[in-house]
C-alpha cells in the first residue's frame, strides 16, 4: 500500500512528516512488519525520499528538505530576560532590608512633626533647625542615595548574570557544534554538524555514536544500541535490517556499525516529540487550577507512553486504556526524559550512566535498569563531590557571614543603647511627640549602618570572583585546546595530584606506520618488496588488510606537495593500509571486488573478543567462505595452529614455534615501542577439508566459538607510534608540580614500558611498577575475588604503567586511588579516555578528559574537559589554568578580607566611641561595589605563568587562607586601622580641618572635610592594597606582570577617577565635600604607604603567624563538607554567606549537564567475568625491576582466583571496524 496519500497533503518526496512520524513510533518486529507492508521496505523509502542508499544526497535540495521536514535543531529553552534577572537580584535579603530602610528614611524626611507654639521650641530643636534650608533640601538625599546604590548593585548583578548566561550558552553552542556525524553526500563520507542533517541523509553509525536523529537501518554489522535513555531498559538492543531496524535519536551505539536512512529530525524526532510534549505539559501545569491536577497526571502518563513505548498518537486521541507494565519503569522513563529537558541539549543529551551501567554493571537494580533503592538513585543522579575550592569557599562564606551578622547586630545595639543613655539618662529627656521624627530618624540611621556593615562584611564578591575567574579561564582555555564542559573541573585540575593517561594519541602522535613485519617466517626490518613475496601470501595480506578494516578508514593524498598523506579513520588501520601502499599495491581495488554490502558477517571488536573478524564469500571459488582475523599478537597467535611459510603453504604452528616467535619477533618489536598486530585467516569449504580448513556445511556464523579457532597466521607487523616531542618536557613539568603521571594502556607490557621510558613516566633509579591488567587484578583482589582497598594501597603508590588493561581496570584503579586513605589528604585524580567504556572512569575521576579527535560521543558526554587536540601538553595547560583560578580567588580574598576587616571594625569602634560610623552607609556601599565587581574583575584576569608548576598541589585540607595571606591581611588591616584612627582623633589638629565628630548627633549635618578625608584615605589605601593583593606568595616585586594585564590597569585607573568625581562632586549624596590639593596629597600619601608597608610585611617570617585553620575546619568537617555541601538546603543553620554562595554558584552553572553520575558499585558484578579464565598470556609479566619491586615493596598477598585476561578499550571508528584489540584506549 502506498502511504503517500495520507497526512496533510502529498509530500513532493512521496512521504510526509506525519507518515514518517507514524512509522518511527513502532518498535521491533511490529515496526519491521509495518515498514515492509505499508512502506515497501527501506529501499522503497529511499526511492520515495529521492536519496541514493550508496551515494547519499547531492545537496541540491537541502533547503527544500529543511522547509518540508524541518531542521535538526530542537529550540532551546528561552533564556531569562534581563527583567527576570533583575527580579532575581532583588531577592537578596540585605538589599531588601536596605530598600525598606531607605524608604523609611525617605518617608521620615518628608514628615514634619506638629509644633504647638514657637515658645515650646527647645534648644536642641533650635540647633537642629539652624541650617533648615540645607536640611530640608538634604533630608531626603540619604534615602534616595541608598536606593540609587541598590539599583546600581542590582543592575550590575543582573548584567553579570546576563553576560554569564550568554557566554555559557555560547559554550553550549560550541559543544553542540563540535558534535559532528559521518554522512554520505555525493558518494563521499563527510563529517557534518548534526544540526545540518536532513531527512533523506544516509549516515554511517558506529560504536560510541550518540544518534542525532531518527532513522532506519540500511545495512548493519553486529549493531547493538543502548536505548535506556528513553526506555530505562539496561539491556542493549540488537538492531539489524531484519530485526528492529528503527534507530532513535538520543540513544547510543554500543557495538557494531552500519548505515541508516534519516527519517525524522529536530522536533519531529522522538527526542523532539518528548521535548515538545513535556514543555506543553509544563506550560499547562502553570495555567491549570488545582482541581485539574488529575488531568495533568493523565497527560503526563500519555506523554510517557508516547515517548517511551512508541504508542500511536491516534490511540491517545481515542483515549484507549494504556497502562504501564511497570510503575517504577514508567517513573524512570519520565525522569530520564525530564533530565534531558532540564539539560537543554538540542540533540539527545541523554544519560551516559546507562551506557556505563551496561559495561560495568550495578548492584541493586531491577530488571528494568532502575535503581532499586531510591536513596541510591538520588546518589546516582548527583555529580562528583564538591571541588576543593568550593568546599573551602562555602565554609569560609558561612563563617564570615556569621561573624558579620554578629558584628552588625552588635553595632546597631550599641548605637541604640548609647543614644538612649545619652538622651534619656544623661540629658534627662523624655520621649515627646516633637522628638518622634528625630528619634526614629536616628534609629533608622543606626539600622542602615548595621545593615551596611553586614553588606560589607559578608563576602558577596566570592561567587562573582569565582564566576569571573572561571569564565575568563574557560574562554582562554579554549585557545589552549581545552573545551571545559563543567566549570568546577577547571579549578579542580589545579589541585590534581595524579593523572592516569592513555597512550595512543595522547602521549604519542597517533600517526602510525608499519616499520617491521614477520612474513613467511622471515623478519623484515623494512617494508618488503611485494614482488619478492609469495603470491598467495601477498594476496592474503592485501585482502586481510583491505577487507577486515573499516571501509571508512582510508589514506588520502596530501593536499599540498611535501605534506604527508592524510589518514582518515582508525589510525592503526591506516597504518596497515599505508603498509599496502608502501608495497605499491591498492586496497581500493580489493574493496571494489568486495563491497561492504556483500560481507557475510563482521565480528566487531568488543571487550570479550579483543579482535576484529570478517567473513566473505570468496569470488571465483564456489562454496568457499573466508574468515579474516586481526588483533593483538598475543591474542591471535594463541588461536593459530598453522602459519604460512615462505612458499605460502600452511605449516604446523607448534607451541614451541609460538614461543620462538614470541621471544624472537614479538617481544623485540614491543621492546622497541612497537605495537604488534597479527593477521590470520581460515577457509570454510564444502566436502573434504584440510586440517587447517573448516566445514561449511551446517555452519552458524553466530556461533563464534566454533569458528574462531585453528586459524592460520599470515603475518605479524610492528607498528610505530612515535612519542610526541613535547610530551617528555610536559611530564617533567607535572612531576615538578607534584603530580604523578601514570600510563593506562591496552598495549603490550613491553611496548608500554618502552613508551613510558621515552616519555619520562619511568625514570632511571625509581622503583616504578609496571603491571599487566591480569596481574594487577590478582594483586588487588582478596580470596573472594573482591577488590581489597588495603591491597590496592600497597600497589597504586608505586604503579606507573598498567598495560593490557581494560576499561574496568582503569575504573578500579581510579576508584582505588580516590578512596585510598594513604597520605594526609585524598588524592585528586584526572583521567583521559576516548572509548564508550571509559565512561565510568571518566565520571569517577575528579576531572575526566575526553579526546576531541578520537573520542566517542559517549566519552565526551561523560567528561569534564574535552582535549580538542588529543595532546597531553594540553592537560598541563589545564593544570596551570586550574592553579591560576585558585590563585586568582586567593588574591581576591586577600584583598577583600582586608577591606572587610577594616570597614567593619571602623564602623564598630566608631559606634562604640563616637556614636557614629566615620564611613557613611552610602560610602561603604561604594567600597563594597569596588570589592564585589571591580576588584573581582581586576584580580580574576591574571594570566598563568610557568611558576605555577613549580609548587606542589595545595591539598584538600590545607587552609584556603595561607599563613602568608593571613600575615598580609592582618598587618595591612593594622596599618589601615592605625591611619584611620589617627585621622579620626588627631586629624583636625594635624591637617587643620573642622572636627566632624561634633556633628554625629545631627542626622542632617552637612558633609565635613574631616570625614571626607577619612573616606578618601580609606579608598586610596584600598586601591593601593589592590596592587599588593596581586601577590600571595611573599613575592617582593609586586609590579611583576602588572602591565601584561590591561584589564587590571584599566579598572584601577577607572576606580581612581570615579573616586575623584565622588569626592569633588558627590556632595550631600555621598556625604563628601571638595578637598584641596594638600588634602588630596595627604590621602594619596597614606594610600601609597600601603605599598611601602607591604614590603616590610614580606620580611616578617610566616612561622610567627598561627595557621588560620578556622577557614578549613577539622578533617571530620572536611569529609562532611565533601558529602553534604552540595545540598545546603539540608543545613538548618545555613548562614547568609552560604545562601549567597549557593545563589552565585547556581547562576554560573548555565552549561550542559547531560550525564548522570556513574553508580560506583561495579566490583562484584564483574567477578563472574573474572572467573571465566583464559589461558595464561604468552608474554612474561615480570621484568627484573618488577621482581625486585615484588621483594622490596609488596608482601605476599592473599591468594585469589587468577584474574581474567585483560581487554583493551576502544577507539572510535568511522566505519564498521570501530575498534580493534590493539587500540589501547
Mean pLDDT value across residues 484-503? 88
Of 625-629, 702-706, 999-1003, least confident by mean pLDDT is 999-1003
Q: Which of 201, 214, 502, 838 is catalytic?
A: 502
What integer is the mean pLDDT of 693-706? 88
What is the sign of the dihedral through the CA atoms of 937, 938, 943 and 946?
negative
Q: What helix, strand, coil percent values describe the chain, rounded to 5?
A: 50, 15, 35
Cell 605479524 sits on residue: 716
Closest CA to 229 of 181, 184, 292, 271: 271
Residues forming a β-bridge with 642: 652, 712
How does DSSP assign 684-753, residue by residue? Answer: EESSS--TTSEE-TT--TT-GGGTSSSEEEEEEEEEE-PBPTTHHHHHHHHHHTT-EEEEE-SS-HHHHH
Cβ atoms of residues 967 and 975 within 8 Å: no
Confidence of residue 215 (pLDDT cuts 50, 70, 90): very high
For 219, phi then psi, to 5°, come to -150, 140
* Interatomic CA distance for residues 415 and 211, integer angstroms: 67
Dihedral (Cα; 1164, 1169, 1171, 1172), 10-degree rounding: 170
485 closest CA partner among 336, 393, 384, 353 = 384
pLDDT single digits (tens) 1030-1074: 888 878 788 887 888 898 899 899 999 999 999 998 888 788 899
State the CB neighbour count (10 A cutoff) for residue 383: 14
Least trusted range by pLDDT, from 133-142, 184-193, 335-344: 335-344
Q: Torsion angle, CA of 354/358/359/361, rounded to 10 degrees?
A: 100
How many Å apart are CA 3 and CA 11, to the nearest integer? Answer: 11
Segment 1093-1098 shows an average pLDDT of: 90
Residue in the block written with cell 541650617 = 131
Q: What is the pLDDT of residue 438?
A: 75
Among the listed residues 516, 928, 549, 971, the one whose alpha carbon sits nearest the alpha carbon of residue 720: 516
Model pLDDT for residues 292-306, shown as the tens digit of each residue: 544 544 544 443 333
1197: pLDDT confidence band, cut at 50, 70 and 90?
A: very low
DSSP 1037: -
pLDDT confidence band for 313 (50 / 70 / 90): very low
Of 1224, 1219, 1225, the closest CA to residue 612 belongs to 1219
Q: What is the mean pLDDT of residues 1154-1180?
A: 36
Nearest-5° Cα angle at 726, 724 to 730 = 120
pLDDT digits (tens, 9 = 90+) for 837-856: 788 899 999 999 998 888 88
Q: What is the pLDDT of residues 72-111, one digit of tens each?
A: 887 777 788 889 888 888 887 767 877 876 787 677 666 5
Instruction: Measure the CA–CA gap between 570 and 547, rounded to whole angstroms.
Output: 14
What is the pTM assigned to this prediction? Answer: 0.70
Give the chain's domains with CATH numbers: 513-715 (3.40.1110.10), 723-876+1158-1192 (3.40.50.1000)
pLDDT at position 1125 is 33
pLDDT at 982: 92
Check residue 932 and give its pLDDT. 66
pLDDT over 60 at 390, yes or no = yes
Closest by alpha carbon to 388, among 1128, 1199, 1111, 1167?
Answer: 1111
- Identify the pLDDT of residue 1116: 41
Distance of alpha carbon 613 from alpha carbon 630, whole angstroms: 7
Apex CA 815: angle with CA 812 and CA 821, to 5°? Answer: 125
The pLDDT of residue 716 is: 95
Q: Please say if 2 is a catalytic residue.
A: no
The segment with the largest mean pLDDT, out of 332-336, 1012-1016, 1128-1132, 1211-1215, is: 1012-1016
Kindly give, in sequence order, each residue whose CB lies less than 8 Å from that of residue 173, ignoring residues fewer than 6 positions away: none
Residue 1201 has pLDDT above 80, yes or no: no
919: its cell numbers: 564611613
Q: Residue 1150 pLDDT > 50, yes or no?
A: no
How far is Cα 1173 from Cα 552, in angstroms, rounded to an integer? 35
Does the pLDDT of residue 1187 top 50, yes or no?
Answer: no
Whole-angstrom distance, CA of residue 857 vs CA of residue 378: 25
pLDDT band at 583 (very low <50, low <70, confident <90, very high): very high
Which SS3 state, helix, strand or coil, does residue 451 take?
Answer: helix
Measured CA distances, 456 to 400, 450, 869, 925 (Å): 11, 10, 45, 7
Write down the pLDDT at residue 1106.
Answer: 73
- Cα separation values, 887 from 894, 942, 999, 1061, 1197, Å: 10, 9, 44, 33, 44
Mean pLDDT of the chain: 76
Burial class (CB in 10 A: 0-12, 13-18, 19+), 440: middle
For residue 578, the model assigns a pLDDT of: 93
Instruction: Enumerate residues 6+ apart whose C-beta is below 8 A from 438.
Output: 128, 1003
Q: Coil, strand, or helix at residue 432? A: coil
Sign, Cα dihedral of 492, 498, 500, 506: positive
Q: In 914-1034, which residue ranges form alpha helices assigned H by DSSP?
A: 921-929, 936-939, 963-991, 1009-1028
Asked whether 1203 and 1170 are in contact (CB, 8 A), the reply is yes
The string of pLDDT tens digits covering residues 223-241 is 888 887 776 676 788 888 8
Residue 191: strand, helix, or coil: strand
Q: How far apart are CA 395 and CA 402, in angstroms?
A: 11
Amino acid at each position: 500500500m502506498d502511504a503517500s496519500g495520507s497526512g496533510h497533503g502529498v509530500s513532493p518526496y512521496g512521504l510526509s512528516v506525519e507518515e514518517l512520524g507514524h512509522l518511527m513510533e513502532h518498535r521491533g518486529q511490529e515496526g519491521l512488519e509495518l515498514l515492509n507492508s505499508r512502506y515497501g521496505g527501506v529501499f522503497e523509502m529511499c526511492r520515495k525520499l529521492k536519496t541514493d542508499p550508496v551515494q547519499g544526497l547531492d545537496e541540491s535540495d537541502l533547503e527544500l528538505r529543511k522547509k518540508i521536514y524541518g531542521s535538526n535543531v530542537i529550540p532551546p529553552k528561552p533564556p531569562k530576560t534581563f527583567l527576570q534577572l533583575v527580579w532575581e537580584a532583588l531577592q537578596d535579603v540585605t538589599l531588601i532590608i536596605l530598600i525598606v530602610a531607605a524608604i523609611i528614611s525617605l518617608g521620615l524626611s518628608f514628615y514634619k512633626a506638629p509644633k504647638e507654639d514657637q515658645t515650646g521650641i527647645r534648644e536642641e530643636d533650635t540647633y537642629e533647625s539652624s541650617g533648615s534650608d540645607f536640611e530640608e533640601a538634604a533630608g531626603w538625599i540619604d534615602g534616595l542615595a541608598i536606593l540609587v546604590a541598590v539599583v546600581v548593585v542590582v543592575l550590575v548583578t543582573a548584567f553579570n548574570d546576563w553576560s554569564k548566561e550568554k557566554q555559557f550558552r555560547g559554550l553550549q553552542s560550541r559543544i553542540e557544534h563540535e558534535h559532528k556525524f559521518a554522512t554520505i553526500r555525493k558518494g563521499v563520507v563527510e563529517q557534518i554538524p548534526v544540526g545540518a542533517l536532513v531527512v533523506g541523509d544516509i549516515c554511517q553509525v558506529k560504536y560510541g555514536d550518540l544518534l542525532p536523529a531518527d532513522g532506519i537501518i540500511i545495512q548493519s554489522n553486529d549493531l547493538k544500541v543502548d536505548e535506556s535513555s528513553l526506555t530505562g531498559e539496561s539491556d542493549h538492543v540488537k538492531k539489524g535490517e531484519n530485526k528492529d531496524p528503527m534507530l532513535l535519536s538520543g540513544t547510543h551505539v554500543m557495538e557494531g556499525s552500519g548505515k541508516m536512512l534519516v527519517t525524522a529530525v529536530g522536533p519531529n524526532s522522538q527526542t523532539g516529540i518528548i521535548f515538545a510534549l513535556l514543555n506543553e505539559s509544563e506550560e499547562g501545569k502553570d495555567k491549570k487550577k488545582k482541581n485539574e491536577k488529575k488531568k495533568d497526571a493523565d497527560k503526563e502518563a500519555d506523554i510517557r507512553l508516547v515517548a517511551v513505548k512508541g504508542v500511536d498518537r491516534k490511540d491517545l486521541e481515542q483515549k484507549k486504556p494504556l497502562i504501564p507494565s511497570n510503575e517504577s519503569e514508567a517513573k524512570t522513563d519520565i525522569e530520564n526524559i525530564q533530565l534531558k529537558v532540564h539539560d537543554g541539549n538540542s540533540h539527545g543529551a541523554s544519560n551516559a550512566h546507562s551506557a556505563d551501567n551496561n559495561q560495568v554493571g550495578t548492584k541493586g537494580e531491577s530488571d528494568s535498569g532502575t535503581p532499586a533503592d531510591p536513596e541510591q538513585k538520588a546518589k546516582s543522579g548527583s555529580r562528583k563531590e564538591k571541588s576543593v575550592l568550593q568546599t573551602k569557599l562555602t565554609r569560609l562564606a558561612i563563617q564570615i557571614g556569621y561573624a558579620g551578622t554578629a558584628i552588625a547586630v552588635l553595632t546597631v545595639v550599641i548605637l541604640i543603647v548609647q543614644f538612649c543613655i545619652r538622651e534619656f539618662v544623661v540629658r534627662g529627656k523624655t520621649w515627646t511627640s516633637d522628638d518622634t521624627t528625630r528619634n526614629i530618624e536616628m534609629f533608622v540611621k543606626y539600622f542602615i549602618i548595621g545593615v551596611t556593615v553586614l553588606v560589607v562584611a559578608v563576602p558577596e564578591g566570592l561567587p562573582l570572583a569565582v564566576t569571573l575567574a572561571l569564565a575568563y579561564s574557560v574562554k582562554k582555555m579554549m585557545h589552549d585546546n581545552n573545551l571545559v564542559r563543567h566549570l568546577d573541573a577547571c579549578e579542580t585540575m589545579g589541585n590534581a595530584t595524579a593523572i592516569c593517561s592513555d597512550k595512543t594519541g595522547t602521549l604519542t602522535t597517533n600517526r602510525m606506520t608499519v616499520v617491521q613485519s614477520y612474513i613467511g617466517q622471515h623478519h623484515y626490518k623494512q617494508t618488503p618488496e611485494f614482488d619478492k613475496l609469495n603470491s598467495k601470501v601477498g594476496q592474503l595480506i592485501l585482502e586481510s588488510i583491505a577487507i577486515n578494516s573499516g571501509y571508512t578508514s582510508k589514506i588520502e593524498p596530501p593536499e599540498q606537495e611535501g605534506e604527508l598523506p592524510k589518514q582518515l579513520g582508525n589510525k592503526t588501520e591506516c597504518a596497515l593500509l599505508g603498509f599496502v601502499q608502501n608495497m605499491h599495491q591498492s586496497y581500493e581495488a580489493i574493496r571494489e571486488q568486495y563491497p561492504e554490502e556483500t560481507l557475510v558477517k563482521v565480528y566487531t571488536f568488543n571487550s570479550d573478543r579483543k579482535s576484529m573478524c570478517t567473513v566473505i564469500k570468496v569470488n571465483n571459488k564456489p562454496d568457499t567462505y573466508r574468515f579474516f582475523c586481526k588483533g593483538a599478537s598475543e591474542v591471535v597467535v594463541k588461536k593459530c595452529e598453522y602459519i604460512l611459510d615462505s612458499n605460502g603453504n600452511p605449516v604446523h604452528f607448534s607451541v614451541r614455534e609460538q614461543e620462538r616467535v614470541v621471544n624472537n619477533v614479538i617481544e623485540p618489536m614491543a621492546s622497541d615501542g612497537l605495537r604488534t598486530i597479527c593477521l590470520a585467516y581460515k577457509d570454510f569449504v564444502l566436502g573434504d577439508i584440510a586440517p587447517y580448513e573448516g566445514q561449511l556445511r551446517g555452519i552458524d556464523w553466530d556461533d563464534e566459538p566454533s569458528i574462531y579457532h585453528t586459524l592460520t597466521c599470515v603475518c605479524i607487523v610492528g607498528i610505530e607510534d612515535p612519542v610526541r616531542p613535547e610530551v617528555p618536557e610536559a611530564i617533567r613539568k607535572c612531576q615538578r608540580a607534584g603530580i604523578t603521571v601514570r600510563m593506562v594502556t591496552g598495549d603490550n607490557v613491553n611496548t608500554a614500558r618502552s613508551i613510558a621510558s621515552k616519555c619520562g613516566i619511568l625514570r632511571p633509579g625509581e622503583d616504578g611498577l609496571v603491571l599487566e591488567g591480569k596481574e594487577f587484578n590478582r594483586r588487588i583482589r582478596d580470596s573472594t575475588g573482591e577488590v581489597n582497598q588495603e591491597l590496592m594501597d600497597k600497589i597504586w603508590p608505586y604503579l606507573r604503567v598498567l598495560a593490557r588493561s581494560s576499561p574496568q581496570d582503569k575504573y578500579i584503579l581510579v576508584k582505588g586511588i580516590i578512596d585510598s586513605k594513604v597520605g594526609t589528604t585524598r588524592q585528586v585524580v584526572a583521567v583521559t579516555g576516548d572509548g564508550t567504556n571509559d565512561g565510568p572512569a571518566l565520571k569517577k575521576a575528579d576531572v575526566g578528559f575526553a579526546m576531541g579527535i578520537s573520542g566517542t560521543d559517549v566519552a565526551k558526554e561523560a567528561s569534564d574537559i574535552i582535549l580538542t587536540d588529543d595532546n597531553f601538553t594540553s592537560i598541563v595547560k589545564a593544570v596551570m589554568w586550574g592553579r591560576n583560578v585558585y590563585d586568582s580567588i586567593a588574591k581576591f580574598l586577600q584583598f577583600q578580607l582586608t577591606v572587610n576587616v577594616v570597614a567593619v571594625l571602623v564602623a564598630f569602634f566608631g559606634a562604640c566611641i563616637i556614636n557614629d560610623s566615620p564611613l557613611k552607609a552610602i560610602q561603604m556601599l561604594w567600597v563594597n561595589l569596588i570589592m564585589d565587581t571591580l576588584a573581582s574583575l581586576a584580580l580574576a584576569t591574571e594570566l598563568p605563568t610557568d611558576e605555577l608548576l613549580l609548587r606542589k598541589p595545595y591539598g584538600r585540607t590545607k587552609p584556603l587562607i595561607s599563613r602568608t595571606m593571613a600575615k598580609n591581611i592582618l598587618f595591612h588591616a593594622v596599618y589601615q586601622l592605625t591611619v584611620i584612627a589617627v585621622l579620626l582623633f588627631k586629624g583636625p589638629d594635624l591637617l587643620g580641618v573642622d572636627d566632624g565628630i561634633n556633628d554625629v548627633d545631627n542626622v542632617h549635618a552637612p558633609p565635613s572635610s574631616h570625614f571626607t578625608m577619612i573616606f578618601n584615605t580609606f579608598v586610596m589605601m584600598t586601591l593601593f592594597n589592590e596592587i599588593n593583593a596581586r601577590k600571595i606568595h611573599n613575592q617582593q616585586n609586586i609590579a611583576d606582570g602588572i602591565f601584561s594585564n590591561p584589564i587590571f590597569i584599566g579598572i584601577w585607573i577607572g576606580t581612581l577617577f570615579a573616586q575623584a568625581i565622588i569626592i569633588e562632586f558627590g556632595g550631600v549624596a555621598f556625604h563628601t565635600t571638595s578637598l584641596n590639593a594638600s588634602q588630596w596629597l595627604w590621602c594619596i600619601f597614606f594610600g601609597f604607604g600601603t605599598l611601602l608597608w607591604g614590603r616590610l610585611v614580606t620580611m616578617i617570617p610566616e612561622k610567627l603567624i598561627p595557621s588560620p585553620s578556622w577557614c578549613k575546619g577539622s578533617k571530620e568537617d572536611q569529609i562532611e563538607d565533601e558529602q553534604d555541601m552540595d545540598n545546603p538546603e539540608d543545613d538548618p543553620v545555613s548562614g547568609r554567606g552560604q545562601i549567597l554562595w549557593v545563589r552565585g554558584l547556581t547562576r554560573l552553572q548555565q552549561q550542559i549537564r547531560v550525564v548522570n553520575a556513574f553508580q560506583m558499585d561495579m566490583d562484584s558484578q564483574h567477578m563472574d567475568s573474572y572467573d571465566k579464565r583464559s589461558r595464561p598470556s604468552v608474554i612474561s609479566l615480570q621484568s627484573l625491576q618488577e621482581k625486585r619491586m615484588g621483594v622490596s615493596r609488596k608482601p605476599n598477598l592473599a591468594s585469589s582466583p587468577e584474574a581474567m585476561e585483560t581487554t583493551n578499550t576502544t577507539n572510535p571508528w568511522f566505519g564498521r571496524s570501530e575498534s580493534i584489540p590493539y587500540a589501547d584506549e
